């Protein structure tokens, strides 16, 4: 069995500590928002999860290009790992947004441009996982995955800018948002510090999970190669 690198163990420990500190900051360090109350605290991890989702899809597109250039399967393994993690965090982002919306917008869901594009983005990558499973030949699957991840990435900037381009009720906390946005608030310095710390923590969680998922992917590849060899 492949031994776990020492650096990965250190990264695991640092990530857990940072997550504990970020959670403490969210609940005890950041002040309660004056209008929305406690539910505003969801914002810190909601945005951080959305950031990890988009970062994952960016990585998947990047390694997709690398695969097409180098034809090395390790980039396909990394791409699949990034997409899987991206879906998990995009899901967290959408569900926590919906929970926040219930008391603030008085509805769990609305087909607002930001919510719609975020959902479409997640579904595009969910389809990536499903379609991959239907391709038996590993090289063809990898080529398909690379092209899909590159084209699918178009949905990421569309999601990010949707709240800035279209009329939306989704608030933009950083920068200026639509006048019709509901649930906006001004961040105090303590809120900003908590927010930035959460972003840093989630970035580290992403790196840590990606490393673990790539190790898992390498093992899956090894099993697949052996299985094909045994069947010959």
Binding site for another protein (CB under 8 A): 1, 32-42, 45-46, 49, 88, 91-92, 95-96, 99-100, 102-104, 106, 182, 205, 209, 212-213, 215-216, 219-220, 222-223, 226-227, 229-230
| Closest CA relative to residue 159, chosen from 121, 215, 203 | 121
Element of type H or E holding 165: helix 155-165
30 or 150: CB nearest another protein: 30
4 or 71: CB nearest another protein: 4
Kindly state the smallest distance separating residue 35's Cβ from another protein, in Å.
6
Kindly state the smallest distance separating residue 147's Cβ from another protein, in Å.
26
Say how far apart CA 39 and CA 81 lie, in whole Å.
Answer: 32
The contacts found for 207-212 with CB under 8 angstroms, 24 or more apart, are: 207/11, 208/8, 208/11, 208/12, 208/15, 209/85, 210/56, 210/59, 210/78, 210/81, 210/82, 210/85, 211/8, 211/11, 212/8
Kindly state the smallest distance separating residue 9's Cβ from another protein, in Å.
15
Kindly state the smallest distance separating residue 224's Cβ from another protein, in Å.
10
Kindly state the smallest distance separating residue 5's Cβ from another protein, in Å.
15
Say how far apart CA 52 and CA 60 lie, in whole Å.
Answer: 12
36 or 158: CB nearest another protein: 36
18 or 150: CB nearest another protein: 18
143 or 212: CB nearest another protein: 212
Kindly state the smallest distance separating residue 103's Cβ from another protein, in Å.
5
150 or 194: CB nearest another protein: 194
Say how far apart CA 7 and CA 17 lie, in whole Å.
Answer: 15
State the CB neighbour count (10 A cutoff) for residue 172: 14
């Amino acid at each position: 069995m492949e031994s776990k690198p020492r650096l990965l163990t250190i990264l695991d420990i640092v990530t857990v500590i940072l997550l504990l500190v970020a959670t403490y900051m969210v609940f005890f360090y950041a002040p309660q928002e004056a209008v929305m109350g406690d539910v505003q605290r969801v914002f810190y991890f909601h945005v951080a999860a959305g950031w990890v989702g988009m970062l994952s899809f960016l990585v998947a597109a990047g390694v997709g290009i690398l695969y097409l250039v180098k034809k090395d399967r390790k980039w396909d393994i990394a791409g699949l790992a990034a997409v899987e993690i991206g879906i998990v965090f995009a899901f967290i982002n959408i569900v926590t947004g919906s929970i926040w919306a219930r008391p603030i917008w008085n509805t769990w869901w609305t087909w607002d441009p930001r919510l719609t594009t975020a959902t479409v983005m997640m579904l595009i990558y969910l389809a990536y996982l499903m379609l991959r499973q239907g391709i038996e030949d590993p090289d063809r699957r990898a080529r398909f995955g690379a092209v899909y991840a590159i084209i699918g990435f178009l949905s990421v900037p569309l999601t990010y800018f949707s709240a800035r381009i279209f009329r939306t009720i989704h608030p933009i906390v950083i920068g200026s948002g639509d006048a019709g946005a509901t649930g906006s608030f001004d961040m105090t310095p303590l809120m900003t510090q908590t927010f930035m710390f959460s972003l840093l923590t989630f970035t580290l969680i992403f790196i840590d999970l990606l490393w673990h998922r790539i190790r898992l992917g390498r093992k899956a590849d090894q099993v697949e190669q052996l299985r094909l060899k045994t069947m010959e």
